[in-house]
Structure 1
Amino acid sequence: SDGQMPQTREHLLLARQVGVQHIVVFVNKVDTIDDPEMLELVEMEMRELLSTYGFDGDNVPVVMGSALCALEGREEEIGVKAIDKLLAAVDEYIPTPQRDLEKPFLMGVEDVFSISGRGTVVTGRVERGNLKKGDEVEIVGLNKTPLKTTVTGIEMFKKELDQAMAGDNCGILLRGIKRDDIKRGMVIAKTGTISAHTKFLASMYILTKEEGGRHSGFGEHYRPQLFIRTGDVTVVLTF
């Protein structure tokens, strides 16, 4: 009902910058628009915008619907059926990502909690490789030295598993680790395969003011917030 919002353009630009190739568009709140021609115009403008940012505007699936109607169980065509169309479009148009199963195990820590009588569990999405019960791993990042531990349990969607692999969202039970020993932003990795660093070389794309970025420049020793995997830290830039 509000048309294209500035954040829509920002999200499309950011998606292209991080290499997203396929997207599906859901135009929400169509229950507030009675004019079919207006909906056609919205779709046309959206496809033009997609093409502007390098996506296949002619073929990207655009689904019209109302999330509110779906939640409230009314106007089925733009409610529940529209959500079904959205899910079908995602399944059909977006290819299954290539999972890197050959490289050593690596998972960013999203959350940490304790289970009474069992120990400390970390959750996250496996970035690469695979993991089995009994494997030795290291907790890396934020500490001067890695913490070594052993995997005593793996769980996904409330089911215990023998292993986890790239792409899985899972919980990992770790032996002898206290909850305070590990924090969001650290990583779990196969022992001896990675190390933490305090400096790295990066190539940057800086959003312009028109793209929703900074209104002013920055120089040496600027201290922005860096988001990497599940962590966010303050860094110092040098050129």
Structure 2
Amino acid sequence: MGLFSKSTKSQEETVDVGTPFRFRVDDVFTVTGRGRLFTGIVEAGTVAIGAPATVIVGDRILLGQVRRLESRKRRKPAALGEGEECAIGLDGIETNDLPLRADGGQMIVDSDSLKGAVIRSRQASDIPPTAAR
């Protein structure tokens, strides 16, 4: 096969999206048109768009879903694996659910309080039991 020949192989890596993921938050910020993004590194497993996720902040458990993944190394990734730096956008996590601090007369997300927080695959134990009927 020549240097400029087209490969019949897919350029995308295959990833096991069934592997539970763990992501450590380095920073959080809001981008107009993209929403809130948590940046950091995937510590274990594979995170994929649409995956149910849990944000663990101190002793609080927040339920969400992976809406967006961004990476400097890949364009529009559908999944990212262990060791990759990325940004994760989550649905289902409201501003008031996160740690807040006063800034100029308004309350904003306290990004310092979120450093070191964990986003991981949702587990059955994350969902509170429903009241018996």
Q: Which interval holds the TM-score relative to the shorter structure?
A: 0.5 to 0.7
CA contact (8 A) 1:119 1:178 kept: no
Counterpart-to-counterpart distance in 1, 2:20 and 2:92: 23
Alignment of 1:33-52 (within 5 A): none
TM-score w.r.t. the length of structure 1 is 0.35
Structure with the greater alpha carbon radius of gyration: 1
Q: Percent identity?
A: 30
Alignment of 1:1-239 (within 5 A): 104-142=20-58, 144-157=59-72, 159-178=75-94, 181=98, 183-192=114-123
Partner deviation per Cα, 1:186-238 (whole Å, 9 max, x = no partner): 1000001788xxxxxxxxxxxxxxxxxxxxxxxxxxxxxxxxxxxxxxxxxxx
One-letter amino acid matched to 1:160: K
CA contact (8 A) 2:68 2:89 kept: yes
> Shift of residue 165 of structure 1?
0.5
Q: Which structure would you say has the larger RCO, counting Cα contacts within 8 Å and 6 or more residues apart? A: 2
- Rate the CA distance shift 1:184–1:194 in 2: closer, same or farther, 3 A: farther
Aligned-pair Cα RMSD in Å: 2.5
Q: Secondary structure at the match of 1:160?
A: coil
- Rate the CA distance shift 1:126–1:118 in 2: closer, same or farther, 3 A: same
TM-score w.r.t. the length of structure 2 is 0.61
Runs of 4+ in structure 1 deviating by more than 3 angstroms, as ranges, are: none
Which one has the bigger helix percentage?
1
Structure 1 gap segments, 5+ residues each: 1-100, 196-239
One-letter amino acid matched to 1:141: V
